[in-house]
Structure 1
């Protein structure tokens, strides 16, 4: 087994692309030259794997997705993932940096972190996405075009917008925008940015300029769980990521997540997961050998 890095590796495959966005075709044979894809890592960009044919298994934040084309898997920059297996696959990979993504799309993608399950494509969707991808590829090959950077960014944004549209339609086709959903949306964005430093529901309520009871009412109505539940789940997910994918000690993990009281963090982790942090790490180390 490869030695763990001190921190979770962050891969950057498009940093050298002038447009801050990239698209490329990939087949099964290509994965043999990307051995690092089999090790847990994050990307520094929003990543789409479009599987047209074949099968592929990817692990994202401890969940295995066994996919058979045609399907699209979206991975947020915060998510730790790896390729488990590939079988006669053919498709495309698209990536775009935060700063190149439409701000409204970025806000929506930040809500899909936990988690965005694969989007199975219907025959109509296959036709639309195939056209969109081929346009992205065609534009990306026109590097002499004076508008190259803008065009690549815009076409990949169009692809990202199509994905969001279909994903949100599937997820909440009967959901109407309400005050509860708006508050839940704002809370999730705030939680993603501040979970390591803010643990009390009252602080989130204050930042959202509402009362704690009303915040809990909104969150329970939309998700079925309390504010405290969501805070704890987000913290524990990051703790699992670090315990499994890095060599940080349990004390270092606790400190990085805002818990100076190591014993309290250990008790909280055990209460929520049913296993101690050390036992969780050892169990997963054993299973990955």
Structure 2
């Protein structure tokens, strides 16, 4: 019988050494069978996590989307994102993780802009630069007797975060100045990520952004092709799917966590959006 999971499992990578920062390099042959089995179970990370793939191939699932990582690529995972490894093939990978407390506030804002992220292929020169930075970080990570150990680790890991984030931002940046529609939509997405459990009407977000609801909807639809209401609903549905698939929290409790005290209403809302009742979705998508 499988162990009950009252919430989505969290891998304590960032805090496994008690510092809120971790960095390591490993290959498949370094993995114990138990480690591989745990990696193949859906989970979240306890910090902002990065994976630099030097060798091999990794198939993984992130929030119900499947991806393949090949050599000379990097992956950023936000603490909210639920993921699991599907297959390994002769893998050599470096990874580092840092929690919000140790992350530079400016970098936290940058990472919010590229969430959700997916694997990103790197130029070999860029990959080599980041790999060299990882090697230095690994050496610093072992110098636990240094009086300024945590400060050194914090600064060096933040430098790694900046290198990784800059690649995502360079990849996504437009050659022209962002339009007003793009600026508003970006601000809306940021507000949505922080308020989707309590604010479900476009007018509430429009008020936060000091614009009218019709204008907010015009901006969001112009950039995404969908209305602001649709984006709000999809963010709620994503979190519901995560909890239904990867935890044993009762469906009524999930509804309450997402701001729905009226369970029948939540059930109808979820069914209309996905074509399945919450119970049917859970039964089909259990880990």
TM-score by length of 1: 0.92
Q: Answer yes or no: is the 8 Å Cα contact 1:51–1:69 preserved in 2.
A: yes
Q: CA deviation at 1:47?
A: 0.6
Q: Answer yes or no: is the 8 Å Cα contact 2:98–2:157 preserved in 1.
A: yes
Structure 2, unmatched stretches of 5+, are none
Q: CA deviation at 1:19?
A: 4.3
Structure 1, unmatched stretches of 5+, are none
Q: Answer yes or no: is the 8 Å Cα contact 2:8–2:44 preserved in 1.
A: yes
Please point out which of 48, 51, 54 is paired with 2:50. 48
In the alignment, what sits opposite 2:68?
66
Q: Distance in 1 between matches of 2:64 and 2:228?
A: 23
Q: CA deviation at 1:74?
A: 1.0
Q: Report 1:189-268 matches (<5 A).
A: 189-268=190-269
Q: Distance in 2 between matches of 1:280 and 1:175?
A: 42
Q: CA deviation at 1:144?
A: 2.3
In the alignment, what sits opposite 1:99?
101
Does the C-alpha gap of structure 1 residues 84 and 170 become closer, same or farther in structure 2, counting only changes over 3 Å?
Answer: same
Q: Say which SS state the counterpart of residue 69 (structure 1) adopts.
A: coil
How big is each residue's C-alpha offset from its partner over 1:154-198, in whole Å with a ceiling of 9 and x where there is no partner?
111111111111111112342523433332222222211111111
Does the C-alpha gap of structure 1 residues 175 and 161 become closer, same or farther in structure 2, counting only changes over 3 Å?
Answer: farther
Q: CA deviation at 1:27?
A: 0.7
In the alignment, what sits opposite 1:2?
2
Q: Report 1:79-228 matches (<5 A).
A: 79-113=81-115, 115-228=116-229
Q: Distance in 1 between matches of 2:191 and 2:27?
A: 38
Q: Distance in 2 between matches of 1:98 and 1:12?
A: 14
Q: CA deviation at 1:28?
A: 0.3
Does the C-alpha gap of structure 1 residues 221 and 56 become closer, same or farther in structure 2, counting only changes over 3 Å?
Answer: same
TM-score by length of 2: 0.92
Q: Distance in 2 between matches of 1:170 and 1:108?
A: 13
In angstroms, what is the RMSD of aligned CA positions?
A: 1.8
Please point out which of 19, 35, 38 is paired with 1:36. 38
Q: Distance in 1 between matches of 2:4 and 2:109?
A: 32
Q: Distance in 2 between matches of 1:123 and 1:11?
A: 30
How big is each residue's C-alpha offset from its partner over 1:214-243, in whole Å with a ceiling of 9 and x where there is no partner?
212222233222111110010000000011
Q: CA deviation at 1:4?
A: 4.1
Q: Distance in 2 between matches of 1:52 and 1:258?
A: 43
In the alignment, what sits opposite 2:13?
13
